[in-house]
């Protein structure tokens, strides 16, 4: 059973699919599950492998699993198996504690381009918990040691395939702006940014508009990319972009903390 769970965890990890790992950590009295019993639960609340108890516990664990997936935080729940009204649903006897842990894939950043801005972005994003794919004909793998993958044989950016929740930053020095942005806008990526001047960004977006790309999709493009930090150096520009990514990921406001904190008494 444990081997099956581990194999399925590996498959889910490789497929970048979220799930919940529930582990029984304590049993008092009678229960159909034993300490260290485990179960994997998918985003619909369905147990897809393992066992942490039958009808007495499964509904409560599954409900908690959905809440944990929503918040991204683990929880320990106590299930009263004696109380058929206020407990887990039927009088099994005893009680149990279950550790419910959401396993969420790392956010994936697609970096289109090469050069010092892209190199810095790759380094910063990796340190912040992103997995990074660099895609550019001139991208050299040795320049991106932190990247999950470097693609250099894809001149039309056909391998750019962002999924829902992914991040895309396009810094192709104008050469691949149109192709890569077209593909990015066909996806449900959470963040799409174009590293360019305002003039260049306007030209690219106008071309897409003339090709009947819906305005609702064009408004998703952050161009120029990044927050206004007054950045000049490539590393500073990369910092402004990754800061905007964190803002989007965490739901921040981008204001100075000194202006948002309450005044001292």
Structure tokens at 220: 């998703």
Q: What is the pLDDT of residues 29-48, one digit of tens each?
A: 766 778 899 999 999 999 99
Q: Which residues contact 160 (CB under 8 A, 6 or more apart)?
A: 110, 112, 135, 154, 168, 180, 183, 184
Name residues whose C-beta falls within 8 Å of residue 119's C-beta, 6 or more positions apart in sequence: 143, 144
- How far is the CA of 255 from the CAs of 49, 69, 227, 265, in angstroms? 44, 28, 11, 22
Q: Exposed, middle or buried by CB within 10 Å (0-12, 13-18, 19+), for 258? A: exposed
What is the per-residue pLDDT across 196-207, written as a single tens digit (0 to 9) for each?
999 999 999 999
Backbone angles phi, psi at 109, to 5 degrees: -110, 125
Run of H or E residues at 99: strand 95-103
The pLDDT confidence band at residue 28, using thresholds 50, 70 and 90, is confident
Identify the residue whose tokens are 């942005």: 181
**CA-closest candidate to residue 158, choices 201, 194, 192, 112:** 112
Q: What is the pLDDT of residue 112?
A: 96
Whole-angstrom distance, CA of residue 199 vs CA of residue 177: 13
Per-residue pLDDT band at 81 (split at 50, 70, 90) = confident
Report the share of the chain in percent with pLDDT over 70.
91
Average pLDDT, the chain: 90
| The domain defined by 108-250 carries CATH number 3.20.20.70 | no
Task: For the beta carbon of residue 70, count every other beta carbon within 10 angstroms.
Answer: 10
Q: Domains of the chain: which residue ranges?
A: 15-103, 108-250
What is the tens place of the pLDDT at every residue in 168-226? 999 998 888 999 999 999 999 999 999 999 999 999 999 999 999 999 999 999 999 99
- pTM, entire model: 0.81
């Amino acid at each position: 059973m444990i081997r099956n769970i581990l194999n399925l965890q590996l498959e889910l990890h490789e497929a970048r699919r979220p799930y919940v790992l529930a582990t029984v950590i304590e049993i008092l009295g009678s229960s159909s599950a034993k300490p260290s019993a485990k179960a994997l639960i998918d985003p619909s609340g369905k147990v897809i492998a393992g066992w942490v108890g039958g009808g007495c516990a499964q509904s409560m664990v599954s409900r908690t699993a959905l809440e944990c997936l929503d918040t991204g935080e683990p929880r320990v729940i106590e299930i009263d198996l004696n109380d058929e009204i206020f407990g887990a649903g039927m009088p099994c006897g005893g009680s149990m504690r279950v550790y419910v842990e959401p396993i969420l894939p790392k956010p994936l950043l697609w970096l289109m381009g090469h050069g010092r801005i892209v190199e810095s972005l790759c380094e910063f994003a990796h340190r912040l918990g992103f997995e990074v794919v660099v895609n550019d004909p001139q991208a050299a793998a040795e320049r991106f040691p932190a990247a999950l993958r470097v693609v250099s044989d894809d001149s039309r950016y056909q391998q750019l395939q962002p999924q829902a929740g992914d991040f895309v930053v396009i810094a192709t020095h104008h050469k691949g702006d149109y192709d890569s942005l077209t593909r990015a806008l066909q996806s449900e990526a959470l963040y799409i940014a174009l590293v360019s001047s305002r003039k260049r960004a306007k030209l690219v977006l106008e071309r897409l508009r003339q090709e009947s790309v819906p305005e609702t999709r064009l408004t998703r493009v952050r161009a120029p990319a990044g927050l206004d930090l007054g950045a000049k150096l490539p590393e500073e520009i990369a910092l402004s972009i990754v800061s905007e990514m964190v803002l989007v990921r965490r739901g921040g406001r981008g204001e100075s903390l000194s202006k948002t904190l309450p005044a001292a008494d």
